[in-house]
Structure 1
Amino acid sequence: MAHLTSLFFNYTPTARVITHVLFWVAMFAVYLAFYDTYDKDYAWILASKDLIAVTGIFYTTSYIVIPKWLMRNKLFLCLAWLLIIYLWWALLSYIFFLGFDLYVDQMSPSLQQFITLALKMGMFGPIKAESMSTYILDFVYLISLPMGIKLIEAMISERQQRTELEMKNAELALNNVQLELDFLKSQINPHYLFNALNNILILMSKDVDKAIDSQRHLTGILEYLVYDSSRSTVSLEEEFKFLRNYIELERIRLNPNTPVEVSIEADAINYTVVPLIVFPFLENAFKHGPLANGKEASLRIIVHAINGLLSVNISNGFKKKQKPIGYKGGLGIANVRRRLDLNYPNNHTLVIDDRQGRYLVLLTMRLERYDFR
């Protein structure tokens, strides 16, 4: 199968044209050899008639009928097309034979007998019970080879597309699992939990209500990761709830004087989104902004979903630092880029700018709606 796929698809347009020309030359030779048994002088005319008929049928069927009808299971239209080309070929043959009978005075007895029989069947011979079988056999002989090759090519192409789609879906599933594992390793590990719980314990002695809220936010994060993040899509409401929980839990660690602007809103709750697609940008904003540079690094988080368009505007102040030799960073952002390409092809834009002392992320995605009732 791999060799056939390579034969059909892995060649240049010039090679394709040359291949088609050589193929039709070979088919003309076959038709010529057939009619040569009837009349050597006029065989080329009859062979040309068949070549014109078959090439017209072949290219129309190849570029219209097969991709637009057959591959979309429009079988009635395909059967109607088969009837049309059969009748068109039969009518073209009848007109040719009629022209031979009227304008050609001398022809071989074999060709004369052949033409006389075709004219005797009449214009409606292709649909008469007594002559239909003869016409159908001739028609099948005429188109079986070129159309057989094209159908094989179409089936291989369809199988290749399905295989590519299956591979893409498998990659998406693997990517989502990897993201979840990476997130768990980088965030929800003993060290992170220790810091979060320690902050909550400290709050217990200062502000019990705030400590209870923080515990609720941590519980919400863990519930989301355990029950929701492994799904292919989640409701935007669930995703927003997770983002708010994370933001509120991280606020505990910030300097009280650090400017933080947060706005997470949607005009409807029945949008779906790929889980954790925004989180890496949010994580980086805290990690490389206020948590690394103190109150001087302000933070701005704007996430809105309006008319099916999710707009993300996250920015934070930061200080550029010399990266150590051998540093391998940016894997989280690279992973998000790949997930966006896989899940939202041609339906998203992502701009990242770190000039003028601020790290800015602008992301837009076209969301789908779903009835969660």
Structure 2
Amino acid sequence: MDALDKPFRLPFSKRSTTLRHALMHSAYWVLITGFFIYEKRYLIYKASMPYFAACVAGRIVLLIIIAYLNLQYFLPRYLLRKRYLAYFTAIILSVLGYLTAQSLFDFYLYGYVVGPMRNSNLVESLSYNFFSTLWYLGLMLALKLSMDWYGQQLVIQKITVEKLNAEVNFLRAQVNPHFLFNILNNLYALTLKKSELAPDVVLKLSEMMEYMLYDSTGEKVPLEKEISYLSNYIELERLRFSGGAAINLNINAALNGYEIAPLLLLPLVENAFKHGLGKQTKGGWLKVDIGLVQSTLKVVVENAKPLIVVDMGKGGIGLDNLRKRLDLLYPASYTLQLEDKKDAFLAKLVIDLI
């Protein structure tokens, strides 16, 4: 949690707030105080410093009282419970109380202290204080609503991230049973034949399991590990289509030094195998090109289309989930292009990793 959003209890109150809210409210009242000081600075010369200080302090204290009466008491007790008449009555009474106190002080200040240099008009004073009070209350209410909206957006974003992470954790836990079943069958056949490929298959499967269960638990992983995992996945899937499909992986990049969100590239290749080569009886092919220019990663996955086309977004965590993760993890820093060609399906992902 951000230190600014960590809650703490207010002194002399059962309510709690956050440092972010406290700083924003403080900044608001500092600005209002600065405005009053600027507006009433002439009173230093016309009426003396004590009257100037009393004028500014009196206005600010009265405004703070009715502002927080509204925010902490009237809003939750009346407005949020749809007791509209009681709410507006309370607001009007609090404003009238402010008007009475402030206008009487202004009448005395400008009528007797400042004297003939400024005429005192009680009606004018009442009118000015009434509309200025509503203006400042409106600003305070707008500030509260904006902060509440911001808090709601943080909660929504947190829930969305947790949901997507849960889906990724589910992917990590299930380890694609069909994929694992096929690999174990192939491994069993290789051991019966005493093939030299068996140890290599065991090693690749072990590396994949280690990555999925341990290395990919953080927010970011080294790019070379993500590519290595993808390479192992492709090599093990290649056993299923040995001799029956052309599968090519081209890596044209120096990957050291960059990081990426874990398991972000898997859906592109997983969908190509599941809905492309997995539906082909013959003549299937798959091509994966990975390139890195400075900090921009480009991954292009293209595969032959089967005779019966199946929605590429279904199965696994899917391309829809991938796009949602990208929106959260790399907002405005990625493009995901899906192209349905006549004989092939192409997916191109470009991410700025910085």
Structure 2-normalised TM-score?
0.64
Q: Within 5 Å, which residues of 2 pair with 1:1-373?
A: 73=23, 81-82=31-32, 84-91=34-41, 122-123=45-46, 125=48, 128-129=49-50, 131-138=52-59, 141=102, 142=129, 143-182=132-171, 184-185=173-174, 187-189=175-177, 191-206=178-193, 208-256=195-243, 258-293=245-280, 296-321=283-308, 329=314, 332-368=318-354
Distance 1:157 1:131 in 2: 33
Cα deviation 1:88-129 (Å, max 9, x = unaligned) = 3115xx5xxxxxxxxxxxxxxxxxxxxxxx6xx63574xx13
Q: Residues 281 and 322 (structure 1 numbering): CA distance in 2 closer, same or farther, change over 3 Å?
A: closer
- Is this contact kept in 1: 2:172–2:213, CA < 8 A? no
Q: Check the 8 A contact 2:299/2:350 in 1, yes or no.
A: yes
> Which secondary structure does the structure 2 equivalent of 1:174 belong to?
helix
Which stretch of structure 1 is more off in the superposition, 240-249 or 296-305?
296-305
Q: Distance in 1 between matches of 2:257 and 2:307?
A: 40
Contact 1:267 1:307 in 2 (8 A): no
In structure 2, C-alpha distance between the alignment counterparts of 1:237 and 1:314, rounded to whole Å: 18
Q: Call closer, same or farther: CA 1:362–1:207 in 2, change over 3 Å.
A: farther
Q: Which runs of 4+ in 1 moved over 6 A?
A: 74-80
Amino acid at match of 1:244: S
Q: Distance in 1 between matches of 2:279 and 2:342?
A: 18
Q: CA deviation at 1:84?
A: 4.0
Once the two structures are TM-superposed, the CA of residue 352 in structure 1 deviates from its matched residue by 0.9
Q: Say which SS state the counterpart of residue 259 (structure 1) adopts.
A: strand
Larger Rg, first or second structure (1 or 2) = 1
Offset of residue 355 of structure 1: 1.3
- Output one character per residue of 1:253-299: Cα deviation in whole Å (capped at 9) or x when no partner: 22336332212354343323222221111012222333432552221
Ranges in structure 2 where 5+ consecutive residues have no aligned partner: 1-19, 64-101, 103-128
Q: Decide whether aligned partners of structure 1 residues 75 and 230 sit closer, same or farther in structure 2, where only a CA change above 3 A counts.
A: same
Letter in 2 for 1:122: Y
- Could you tell me which runs of 5 or more consecutive residues in structure 1 were left unpaired when the two chains were aligned: 1-69, 95-117, 369-373
Shift of 1:312: 1.0
1:9 aligned partner? none
Q: Distance in 1 between matches of 2:148 and 2:252?
A: 43
Q: Matches of 1:354 and 1:255 in 2, distance apart?
A: 26
Query: For 1:316, what is the secondary structure of its paired residue?
Result: strand
Q: Identity of paired residues, percent?
A: 26
Say how many residue pairs are matched: 266
Q: Distance in 1 between matches of 2:168 and 2:303?
A: 24
Using the TM superposition, give the Cα deviation of residue 243 of structure 1 relative to its aligned residue in structure 2, in angstroms.
0.6
CA contact (8 A) 1:180 1:229 kept: no
Over aligned residues, Cα RMSD in angstroms? 3.4
CA separation in 1, counterparts of 2:292 and 2:22?
35
